[in-house]
Structure 1
Amino acid sequence: MGNMMRSVSARDKVNRNNHDSSLKGSEEDMVVVLQDYPSSEISEPIHRMGEKLKLIAQEAYWWRVRSTQATEESFIPNSHVAKVYHGWLFEGVDRQKAEALLSLPGNRVGSFMVRESSRERGLYSLSVKHWIVKHYRIYRLENSWYYISPRLTFQCLEDMINHYSDFADGLCCALTSPCLSGNTPPSEAISGAPPVVMRRNFDWKKVDRQQLDSTDNCSDSMLSYGVRNSIAAYLSFSESQNAAQKKEANRKKKCKSVYALPESGHLVIEEEMLRLKTVVG
C-alpha cells in the first residue's frame, strides 16, 4: 500500500491534525438543523433544515442556539440538530439525512460531508453529491491511518479530503465544497437584496426635456441622474442630426429648381423654361 502525504497551502487547504481529538473543539461549536423546527404542521418554522446555528449551551434535551445572522437566542431539541466541525465533519448524521442535506439548493456536484457514525465513535463515511448522492465507507488501520481505497492511505482525515479535492481517484467526482457552504440563510437573502421597484412603462416621446436636464429632485424623478444625462445627450445629438438633415433636404430642394445649361453657361429658372415651352408649343 502506498502511503500518501501531501503538502498543503495555507490558502486553500485545511489545517492538519494527527488525532481525532484535535478535529473537535478547535473552533466555535456549530450545528446544522436536520429538520424544520417546529414542524410546519404546527406553526411557521423558526429554524429550517440546512440552517447553520451557533451552539451556545447544551442543556439536556434542549440546546440553546443562536442564528449566525442574528443575536437572538432560542432553544431547539438536540434531536433536530447535528454538530459540524471544520465545515465538513458532521457528527451523528445518518445516510438518509446526509442525502437530504446534500440535496438542498446551494449544493453543487462535488459537495460533500464526512459523517461520523452515531452508533460507534471513530467510524466515518464520506457522502458526495453527484447525479445522485454516493456514500463511501472510510476504513481505519491499526496505526490510525485512514483509507477508502487500500492503495491510498492517509495519516488524517484532512489529508484525505485535501487529496480527493484535487483528484477523484476512484470517487464519483472530485470534492468541491463542504455541504451547505454555499447556502444563504433566508434572512440574509432578504436583507442583502436591493429592493425591487416596479414602474409602469412610459412614452419616451412624452419625456419632459427640462426633467432630463435638471439635477433637482433626482430621487423623485422617474429616471436616475446618469440615465437622464445619457438620454439628454442622445436627444441633443438626435436634434443636431435632424437639423442637419433638414438643412440638407432644403439645399437639395433648391438645387432641383435650377438647371445649368452647358451651351450658354447661364442658369435658367425652371418655371421660366416651362413657360417658354408652353408658348412655343
Structure 2
Amino acid sequence: MGNIMRGESANDKINTDSSLKALEDDMVLVLKDYPSPDISEPIYRMGEKLRLIAQEAYWWRVRSVQTQKENYIPNSHVAKVYHGWLFEGVERQKAEELLNLPGNRVGSFLVRESARERGLYSLSVKHRSVKHYRILRLDNSWYYISPRLTFQCLEDMINHYCDSADGICCVLTSPCLSGTTPPLDAAPVAPPVVMRRNFDWKKIDSKQLVNTESCNDNVVSYGVRNSIAAYLSLSGNQDPANMRAANRKKKSKSVYGFPESGNGNIDYEDI
C-alpha cells in the first residue's frame, strides 16, 4: 500500500490498538449487494464488514463479522480495508455511497487508493455533502493536501486532521462505517404496553386529583400529582431571564466547521 506507515508511531489515535492491528490485513467491506436483489435475497449487503479467509482467483471466501457465517463472494464486490480507514480500489462515486450509508456522521471519512494507479490517494469526508481532497506526494515521499502541511505517512496526516480541520471542510471524527451495525433482520423493539383498566372521567371523585395520602394504584391521582410536582419543580428552579439567555447561546453554536479563508492551494480534484 505504499509508504503509509512508519515502524513506530508516537500518536496512536485512529485504529492503532494492537488487537486491531492483527486484524487489518484480512478485513474487507462489501461494495454492493451480493447477489443482486434482482436475482435473489442478498447474502451480503453494501457496507457489511467481512473477514477474508482465502483468496481464490475471482472468488474470495469470507466470514461475516456480523453473523460469523462463511461463504464466497466475487472480489469485484468487496474492497480491502487497512487500519479501518484506508480503502483499496474504491472510486469517488462508491466512496460517496458508502459515506452516505446510515451510521456515518459529519466528519466520517475514508482514504481511498486509486484503482487505476497504485500509490495515488484521495481523502473523502462526509460534511453537508461528501467532499474529496487529492493527497499529493513530494519527491521525498511525504504526503500533503495543502503544501504548507506535509506528513511523513498517511497515519500522521489523519491524526492531524482529527485534531484540527486546518483547511478541509471539518475535523475528521471517525472512519467510514466504524460503528456497530445492527443485525440485518433485526426489527425495532417497541416499548412495552402497560394496560390500564378503563374508567369514566365523570365518575372520578375530584378529591382523588389532589390526594397525597393514597398509595393505591389510582392512575388519575398518581399521574396528576406527579405532573404537578414536575411542573412546580421546573418553574420554581428556572429564572425566565436565564432561560432566554441559555437559548440564545445554544442557537449561536454551529454544528459544522468551515475551512479558513485563503486555502486556495488545496487540491479538490479527484483521482
TM-score range, shorter chain: 0.5 to 0.7
1:182 aligns to 2:179 (yes or no):
yes
2:119 aligned residue? 122
Look up the SS of the partner of 1:184 in the other structure: coil
- The percentage of aligned residue pairs carrying the same residue is 70
Give the CA deviation at 1:158: 0.5
One-letter code of the match for 1:158? E
Distance 1:65 1:107, change over 3 A: same
Deviations 1:126-164 (A, max 9, x none): 001111111111011121110000000001001000000
One-letter code of the match for 1:190? A
CA contact (8 A) 1:28 1:54 kept: no
1:203 aligned residue? 198
CA contact (8 A) 2:84 2:175 kept: yes
Alignment of 1:121-200 (within 5 A): 121-182=118-179, 184-187=181-184, 190=186, 197=192
Larger mean Cα displacement after TM superposition, 194-203 or 106-115: 194-203
State the alpha-carbon separation in 2 of the partners of residues 149 and 156 from structure 1: 15
Q: What is the root-mean-square deviation in Å for CA atoms of aligned residues?
A: 3.1
Find runs of 4+ consecutive structure 1 residues off by over 6 angstroms: none
Deviations 1:101-120 (A, max 9, x none): 11111111111000011111
Distance 1:116 1:33, change over 3 A: same
1:272 aligned residue? none
In structure 2, list runs of 5 or more residues that go unmatched: 1-8, 201-213, 222-271
CA contact (8 A) 1:51 1:185 kept: no
Give the CA deviation at 1:167: 0.7
Give the CA deviation at 1:25: 7.8
Distance 1:67 1:123, change over 3 A: same
State the alpha-carbon separation in 2 of the partners of residues 139 and 32 from structure 1: 25
CA contact (8 A) 1:145 1:154 kept: yes
Give the CA deviation at 1:233: 5.2
CA contact (8 A) 1:114 1:125 kept: yes
Alignment of 1:249-260 (within 5 A): none
Match for residue 38 of structure 1 among 35, 39, 50: 35
CA contact (8 A) 1:31 1:81 kept: yes
Alignment of 1:30-69 (within 5 A): 30-69=27-66
Give the CA deviation at 1:186: 2.7
State the alpha-carbon separation in 1 of the partners of residues 68 and 198 from structure 2: 48
Larger Rg: 1
State the alpha-carbon separation in 2 of the partners of residues 126 and 170 from structure 1: 13
Look up the SS of the partner of 1:158 in the other structure: helix
1:27 aligns to 2:24 (yes or no):
yes
CA contact (8 A) 1:112 1:127 kept: yes
**TM-score, scaled relative to structure 1:** 0.63
Distance 1:158 1:204, change over 3 A: farther
Match for residue 78 of structure 1 among 64, 75, 79: 75
Deviations 1:140-195 (A, max 9, x none): 112111000000000100100000011111101111110111251434x728x757
CA contact (8 A) 1:14 1:162 kept: no
Deviations 1:182-241 (A, max 9, x none): 251434x728x7575556664279xxxxxxxxxxxxxxxxxxxxxxxxx95565xx7xxx
State the alpha-carbon separation in 1 of the partners of residues 36 and 51 from structure 2: 21
Larger mean Cα displacement after TM superposition, 72-81 or 177-186: 177-186
One-letter code of the match for 1:91? E
Look up the SS of the partner of 2:186 in the other structure: helix
CA contact (8 A) 2:50 2:65 kept: yes
Q: Which has the higher helix share?
A: 1
Distance 1:83 1:148, change over 3 A: same
Larger mean Cα displacement after TM superposition, 129-138 or 65-74: 65-74
